[in-house]
Amino acid sequence: MHAAVIVFPGSNCDRDMKVAFENAGAKVSMVWHKDTEMPGGVDVIGVPGGFSFGDYLRCGAIAANSPICQSVKAHADKGGYVLGICNGFQVLTETGLLPGVLLRNSGLKYVCKALDLKVETSNSAYTSGYNAGTTITIPIAHHDGNYYTDDDTLARLNDEDRVAFRYVENPNGSQQDIAGILSENRRVLGMMPHPERMAEKTHGNTEGATLFSSLVGSLETA
């Protein structure tokens, strides 16, 4: 399986995402934000965490208009898989690949700590390795992780089983404790917590690695 990881000025989790994909058995290509095309044969695109372009304007807004994001959108429109983590989730909402926005944390402070997430669904390539209802520990590190959308979209996310993760204790004010959501075709996942930071034994646990191994395993057997 071939994964592409996008690199923006200000990315700081791109190498962590690369290692997590590689440990799950994927080949990984690092793709610069000024490139206009993906490498051949890419199965999944990873949009990493960090502070793309210094988070000027809205978080992820400048990155969403970079040349490579046209290829990210084209890949998703063709049914390709896209994983956006933290700043990557913000980028995916700015591109319109996922609904809603990530607002300033309700406490108006940057929050960085490991916390518990409830796995809401196992019905996706990303979460098939977890049991729905399971609690996992994954770190967060964000200033603008307060998920917000309109009531109709919120109802649709719930009705269509598209909430992937919820916070057990809400750290940022997100509506209905939402920590991650899926696209309509379930092939695009955006989440604020960082599974790539809990993917090796030296990190404290490997519960984040399950997301990457689930995705790689699902695509290799598809």
Residues designated as active site: 86, 194, 196
Q: Which two tokens stand for residue 197?
A: 């930071």
Instruction: Tell me if 82 sits within 8 A of 97, measured CB to CB.
Output: yes
d(CA 116, CA 30): 30
Instruction: Tell me if 13 sits within 8 A of 48, measured CB to CB.
Output: yes
d(CA 170, CA 172): 6
Q: Which two tokens stand for residue 61?
A: 């807004």
Instruction: Tell me if 85 sits within 8 A of 49, measured CB to CB.
Output: yes
Q: Which two tokens stand for residue 24?
A: 């799950």
